[in-house]
Amino acid sequence: MKRFFPLHQSFFGLTQKYKESLLEEIYVCIKHLGMTYQDVLSAPTYERRYYLSSLINEHKKKEELYDERMSESKNSNARGSRTSRVSGDQLKSKIKSGEIPS
């Protein structure tokens, strides 16, 4: 018997590719956003995707800030940026007097 409306196998269900991306979104929401499995499933798609994009943007900002700090540290003197030298005896006396907390 020939079907009247030829439908694909995935017509009434989710495709394998979508299932994998959904599971990945669920994993990230649970692991990094502290959501429960039920919270993720009950959240609308646009809301879940908004949380994920916010997490990605936050991570990118942290990475950019880290890169800026690393480039600044590479540009400065490799031995540090001290302006004066303190001998061991002077350091001990400053710690004893309370100028430098121990």
The residue extents of the domains of the chain are 14-73
pLDDT tens digits along 50-66: 999 999 999 999 999 99
**pLDDT exceeding 70 applies to what percent of the chain?**
78
Which pLDDT belongs to residue 88? 81
Residue 91 and residue 16: Cα distance in Å, rounded? 66
Q: Is the dihedral of CA 60, 64, 69, 74 positive or negative?
A: positive
Quickly tell me which residue has 């940026």 as its tokens.
81
78: how many CB neighbours lie within 10 A of its CB? 6
**Type of residue at 17:** K
- pLDDT, tens digit, for every residue of 24-50? 999 999 999 999 999 999 999 999 999
Say which residue the tokens 């991570």 belong to: 59
Answer for the pair 41, 26: CB distance below 8 angstroms, yes or no.
yes
Q: Strand, helix or coil at 11? A: coil
